Copies of this chain bind each other. A is one copy, B any other.
Amino acid sequence: MSLSSGDDEPLLHGGDLGAARRLFPGAVEPFIDLSTGINPNPYPVRRFSAAQLARLPDPESLSQLVRAAARAYGATSAEHVVPAPGTQILLPLVAGLAPPGRAAVLAPGYPEHARAATLAGHTVRAIHRLEECGDATLVMVGNPNNPDGKLFARSDLLALANDLRRRNGVLVVDEAFMDVGPRDMSLAADVACGNVVVLRSFGKFFGLAGLRLGFALTAPPLAARLSASLGPWAVSGPALAVGVAALTDGDWIEGTRRGLAAAATRLDAILNGAGLDVVGGTTLFRLTRTDAASALFRHLGRAGILTRAFTDQATWLRFGLPASEPDWRRLQIAMAEFRGSR
């Protein structure tokens, strides 16, 4: 088994507190993890029925989940929805929907997009604007993009998809953070056009990244290809049960959107108060730019607060949301100390 974060790359992804503890051995505990864009206050669940764990996930529950996801995400029908054990495992599969060729992948962006495109046999080129796609037959962009929160207009993405269609190409729009984005910018209702795949993450907004649940929204022919690769029991019994409950819980969803927006505003005040520029993000994470990024990352690490640094963007630091008042307080104090020390 490989592909865990090795010691040489302790911060390849967010969320790895083991790596953080090796990096900051004397840090204050418990560690506060602000290195991801995962909602720290999850949809409530702990216990599962015996049948959910024991039996093969059944087609009826899967249909329920797919219908709930179609409604929640605004897909035009359940035929457009492919559930999976997380969107991560979908990335090489959706990249494989385009015949191997040139792939254009947004940078900065989610690094797994480029890895997946390479795995699927594409030659990968980083692009910074949609206009740079050239003759690519696969384009992968985040919308909102991670880590900068950049948004792309529906009309621009649909024009790009139209262009790609002429050369049998596929557009993948990773809407992992669209639950807190301007939802009218989602392409979920547009996937019937044939060559667009929208990825929706369940674990981030609902704060249940350990459950492993995610969706591809796409036209039925592509959906059938993805479903065939995943097989009949890709989603676990617990994920089926929680997925249906959470995606149909409109009150929790609306309340959480408001709560996250308020938390993001509060976080911005702390970051601004410490002299940082917030240059982007969503209400699940905030991106700051500062020449002191590396020093601040280490200062916070020693204080037991893990943030997300970027090897290729030395001046960036990304902050997720604290889970509780004590965590907010620790962050506030650590940021004030840092400002005081400069």
- Residues of chain A having any CB pair with chain B under 8 Å: 1-5, 13-19, 33, 36, 38, 40, 42, 45-60, 62-63, 66, 78-79, 81-83, 85-86, 88-89, 91-92, 112, 115, 119, 203, 207-212, 220, 223-224, 227-239
Known contacts A46-B47, A112-B231; A4 and B53 CB within 8 A of each other: no
A38 touches B54 (CB 8 A): yes
A3 contact from B79, B89, B231, B239, Cβ within 8 A? B231
Taking a contact as CB atoms under 8 Å apart, the answer to whether B58 and A229 are in contact is no
CB contact between A45 and one of B33, B53, B227, B228 (< 8 Å): that residue = B53
Neighbour of A234 across the interface among B18, B88, B231, B232, CB < 8 A:
B88
A78 touching B1, Cβ below 8 Å:
yes
B residues in contact with A63, CB < 8 Å: 1, 4
- State the CA gap A16–B203 with chains docked (Å): 27
Q: Is the Cβ of B1 less than 8 Å from the Cβ of A210?
A: no
Tell me the complex Cα distance, A109–B86, Å: 30
Q: Complex: how many Å from CA A92 to CA B231? A: 9
Please determine whether B45 and A46 come into contact, CB atoms closer than 8 angstroms: no
- Closest-by-CB residue of B relative to A88 is B231
Count of chain copies: 2
| Contact residue among B55, B81, B209 (Cβ-Cβ distance under 8 Å from A15) | B55
Contact of A232 among B4, B33, B57 (CB under 8 A): B4
Closest to A220 in B: B2
State in angstroms the CA–CA spacing of A14 and B211 once bound together: 25
Q: How far is the CA of A119 from the CA of B96 in the complex (A)?
A: 12
A-B contact pairs, 23 of them (CB 8 A): A1-B62, A1-B82, A2-B79, A2-B220, A3-B224, A3-B230, A3-B231, A13-B56, A15-B56, A15-B58, A16-B56, A18-B59, A36-B56, A42-B53, A46-B48, A47-B48, A53-B211, A57-B212, A85-B85, A91-B231, A115-B228, A209-B233, A212-B237
Across-interface contacts of A45 in B (CB, < 8 A): 53
Q: Distance in Å from the Cβ of A188 to the closest Cβ of chain B? A: 14
The reply to whether A234 and B15 form a contact with Cβ atoms under 8 Å apart is no
Contacts of A81 in B (CB 8 A): 1
- Once the chains bind, are A236 and B233 in contact (CB under 8 Å)? no
Known: A16-B58, A50-B42. A233 touches B208 (CB 8 A): no
Residue in chain B with minimal CB distance to A61? B18
B residues less than 8 Å from A85 (CB atoms):
85, 89, 212, 234, 236
A66 touches B1 (CB 8 A): yes
CA distance in complex: A15, B238 (Å): 17
Whether B47 lies near A210 (C-beta < 8 A) is no
Which residue of chain B has its CB nearest to the CB of A241? B210
Cβ 8 A contact of A58, one of B17, B54, B60:
B17
